[in-house]
Structure 1
Amino acid sequence: MGVYILCVMGNVLILMLISSQSRLHTPMYFLLGCLSIVDVCFTSVTIPRTLYSLISQDLSISFHGCFIQLFLFYLAGNMDSFLLAVMALDRYAAICQPLHYRAIMSKRTCICLLTFSFVLLSFHGTLCTIITSTLPYCGWVIHHYFCDIPAMLLLSCTDTSAQQMVIFIEGSVIVMVPVLFILGSYVFIIRAVVKLRTSKGRTFSTCSSHLTVVFLFYSSIIFMYFRPSSLYSITYDRVISVVYGIIIPTLNPFIYTLMNKDVRKSVKKVMRCGSEDGRTWKKEAEDED
């Protein structure tokens, strides 16, 4: 419960910071705000229901409720992935195409990319839900703390190799396309920084927080869903799910706060705001006298 509260508070703090500080009203921080919203939704899909089960000792979940949870989990989780890809595009435009940055990363472009991602991932989540919900099930004990595809397939009475192949191929496209896009973007970014060696080196420092989140998120996702079936383990699955489903969304706000100079400055400004406002009001009052 403490981790969930910390996750919500951290991401809400980022949202409040972005909305209140004019220096953060840029495409980069608009996308960071969207990432915070998605992270809160992502953790809220699983943690509250799990906490309720632990407190009430009611470990059951309805058939329809299970697959609604599965759909929302894959929608929110993959939105994280696509948002990281759009943020990589933002960094590419800022460093490699600075004169065209505003045109490339306009508000309209950001909204269109996010809308496209949401629609595409809704179809992805629907496909995964249909494939798993139409299977015959013999067991009714899910060896996981939420409804996830690997755990659901283990309960099926029939051979699921065909379903696993469809999910693997389609899921690989959904996961690997953003990964390859991010890697490609950073190849161009690194080339530009090494070639020019100007103030873009300082701009590149803003990428460190993004790269940290990308590494943590994708390393756990790829290990969870793209390792050989012989390595599947109920214990490992639970641990890895906690990492990418709870720990990483909780760490994101702190990573962006500690590793981003603009965000750190805004935090310091907000913390000093009360005393500065008091001194400003006093000075203005004296001027009026």
Structure 2
Amino acid sequence: MTATVSNFSYGAVTPIAAYLMACLGAALGLRCTTRSLRRPHHKNGWLALGAIAIGCGIWTMHFIAMIGFSVQNALISYDTTKTLLSLAIAIAVVAIGVFLVGHRGRSPMTLATAGTVTGLGVAAMHYVGMAAIHTTGTLNYDTMTVVLSVAIAVAAATAALWAAVSIHALWASLGASLVMGVAVTGMHYTGMAAVSVHLTGGATTAQSSTHLLSFLLVMLAGPLMVLLIAAGIVMFDPDMMLSDDDWDRAAPAPHGTGTAHPVQQQSQPYTTW
């Protein structure tokens, strides 16, 4: 028997919260990548932080959205190892893409390679996370919808990596993060639209819902904490306190013309990002 599947058991709460997490991870990643380009002596540190922020944002988006996933008359649980593996995949593949464009620039070949690898990795994260589901039935996928979700993931990853090395202004990067949030969340719900469940046994969902929610909240606690720490670093690190115009004025002048130290520019307006 094919069960009724819902991705919105809590209404609009889970998709909105998931979207906001995707936007937060994207925004932090963009700002970190911007600073890696402006502060080459700290490049790898900023790129690593950006990759962690984007990866945690994507993974957190996925599992917040999964809180709203339910199968009528079926019990749902998650395999802890596969759930954590999906987090590791998310961070690793984003790191590959971010480091490629961070060190090799935004040439079409670099962007295509990095975007494809990252997009396929994000899709892998999604479907490994889905493989972690244990239920009283079998999950089936519509092939064409899965292919569409993978294509969206590759397109979103490529656009995100392009934005990371091309958009430096604060408000432009925030706007880009909102668009990236739509793309990443859209990929998730496209992938979920491919899912159908064929029941092979009965279960009492009332006994499982509290335990399931508790498990997901525990899993989410770590990545959420990482995102908060990353946000604190981005907002309060001295490199972040000057606006882009301030950094341009504070940048070393051509040889022989003297330099301006950032401290001398403190009369200029600040921005927290």
TM-score normalized by the length of structure 1: 0.36
If each structure's helix is expressed as a fraction of its own residues, which one has the higher value? Answer: 1
TM-score normalized by the length of structure 2: 0.38
Of structures 1 and 2, the larger Rg is shown by 1
If each structure's strand is expressed as a fraction of its own residues, which one has the higher value? Answer: 2
